[in-house]
Structure 1
Amino acid sequence: MTKVFVTVDEIVEKPRFIDTRFSLANVDEGRTLFAQGHIDGAIYWDLERDLSNMESSNGRHPMLTKEQLQSLVERSGLSYEDTIYVYDQGGSPFAPRAWYMLKYAGFPNVYIVNGGYPALAEEFPVTTEEADYQETQLMLDWQDGIYASRDDVKRIVDGLEKVTLLDARATGRYRGEHEPIDPIAGHIPTAKNFDWEQVKKGSTLAPNDVLLSKVSKDEEIVVYCGSGVTASPLFAVLAEAGYENIRVYVGSYSDWITTYDVEVGENI
């Protein structure tokens, strides 16, 4: 079983902290919170400035290129020897997004802090000063097996690969009953649905019996959402539960609808 989530009392000596607090409703909120106070030694990664390739048209929070991600981790002073703890406000999708990116880049010792910043701030020093780390040069061990492209998903939809698509959005959006963000309502054909918020318990994330009954460890699974952000928590909790054949379609629904048709209703 892969260890993904830790509590504050499990953090080891000489940790590297990454603060990923963010608000989809106010894109400046996370950086403002970081400036007001963050865990001593933490660096800040912004969902849109750091963890998405906003120059791409492949969805609303597109996948970073390998060159962009390599630049991010190197200028952040990270190395494979570091034990890295990613946090957000707790029970949010932003730390899982950063965790996923780091796993894609092959970092072996990276964890999501359950309870987020509030839990950490009770046990670790808080500061307003920004840490400065020496830039690193890395030979990254890319984990391409956890990433799914639009072409990969099209092969699944066309029946060329036996893979379960798992839509992490709210059920009403999945069914096509309403769509508050994207121009077309519905879901990627053949997809099942499991609202990612069902793995939230207060400020923590964890797998539960409902999710584990929706998909089995024997299946290959590709998780997606609206823009690739809230798919990350489902990927993380499935990994925590010991699922090995899982990928994220980072472009997600907002990328799919630029090229292909959708379904409405529900797949059981």
Structure 2
Amino acid sequence: MGNVFVSVKDLELAKQHDYKWIDARFNLQNPNEGLTLYEEDHIKNAVYWNLEKHLSDMQKNAGRHPMPDKEQLKTLFEQSGLQQDQFILIYDQGGSPFATRAWWMLQYGGFKNVKVIQEGYQALRKAGFKTTSEKTIVASTQLEMNWQDQLYTDRDGVKAIVDGKEKRTLLDARANIRYRGEEEAIDKIAGHIPGALNYDWEQLIENGYLAPNDSLLDVVSKDEPITVYCGSGVTASPLYAVLKEMEYENVQLYTGSYSDWITKYEVEKG
């Protein structure tokens, strides 16, 4: 069992009731798909977290999947019946950025015992974990939060890095063609945040699930402070998670990411 990921084969079926389950399945092209899948079938006792309803504040103007504020996240955690010392397991469809987004939010909230199911939902089903189509009803909890503010940064924090006021390495998780500014189908301006390096998060998908990749070591070393970003803060989360799995110490996430940066600042190409 790693720092972030746990394989289905390392979980005990008999302990299913002891685990707190979060279903984070989603589809960026079809935002309703995750909830539809959850309503059809999910791990018994799992609560559903939707990327756009729960793990983003879509009313904010801070990129395509803006960071929820602390009060919103605290409410989500409490309404999901979470306790700070529980063993929490998160799954999505596997090889996706949604479970890691949820995992990162819980890290930010100071939860210590949270793991992402490496192979995703179907592997849990296949291994015999009980599933149901019934919505999970949980009793709300009351939490004393222990926010880990060093894990998060905003546009101003990234500007300080670009201006050389803070020494951190910016790491862009998008495809290289978008990073270089040669192609941009989503954002209005093509390019990348000045000075950023690039590591396409999809290089971390192996046999359909996320896994450490030693090629990361050629791009960033373990002793440098790193700030990861992508287009909207979603696909940066698997890169963040794998860096932590590989025991990189000082990593933070720019949740607003490129879609937030370009609303105010210049970009680089090439």
Please confirm whether the aligned pair reaches a TM-score higher than 0.5, indicating the same fold: yes
Partner of 1:30: 34
Q: Per-residue displacement from partner, 1:112-161 (whole Å, max 9, x unpaired)?
A: 00110011111201100111111000001000111011111000000111
Q: Normalising by the residue count of structure 2, what TM-score does the alignment of the two structures yield?
A: 0.96
Q: Among 173, 176, 179, which residue is 1:171 paired with?
A: 176
Q: Per-residue deviation at 1:162?
A: 1.3
- Establish whether residue 65 from structure 1 lines up as the match of residue 69 from structure 2: yes
Q: Among 193, 196, 203, which residue is 2:208 paired with?
A: 203
SS in 1 for 2:20: strand
Q: Among 150, 161, 164, which residue is 2:166 paired with?
A: 161
CA contact (8 A) 1:2 1:242 kept: no
SS in 2 for 1:244: coil
Could you tell me the percent identity over the aligned residues? Answer: 58
Output the CA distance in 2 between the equivalents of 1:51 and 1:127: 24
Q: Which runs of 4+ in 1 moved over 4 A?
A: none
Output the CA distance in 2 between the equivalents of 1:213 and 1:142: 32
Partner of 1:192: 197
Q: Per-residue deviation at 1:218?
A: 1.0
Q: Per-residue deviation at 1:2?
A: 6.2
One-letter code aligned to 1:246? V
SS in 2 for 1:18: strand
CA contact (8 A) 1:147 1:250 kept: yes
Partner of 2:133: 128
Listed as ranges, the gaps of 5+ residues in structure 1 are none
Partner of 1:48: 52
SS in 2 for 1:59: coil
RMSD of the TM alignment (CA)? 1.1
Partner of 1:96: 100
Output the CA distance in 2 between the equivalents of 1:220 and 1:170: 22
CA contact (8 A) 1:114 1:203 kept: no
Output the CA distance in 2 between the equivalents of 1:66 and 1:194: 29
Q: Per-residue displacement from partner, 1:158-185 (whole Å, max 9, x unpaired)?
A: 0111110000000000000010000000
Partner of 1:9: 9
Q: Normalising by the residue count of structure 1, what TM-score does the alignment of the two structures yield?
A: 0.97
Listed as ranges, the gaps of 5+ residues in structure 2 are none
Q: Per-residue deviation at 1:8?
A: 1.0
- Establish whether residue 20 from structure 1 lines up as the match of residue 24 from structure 2: yes
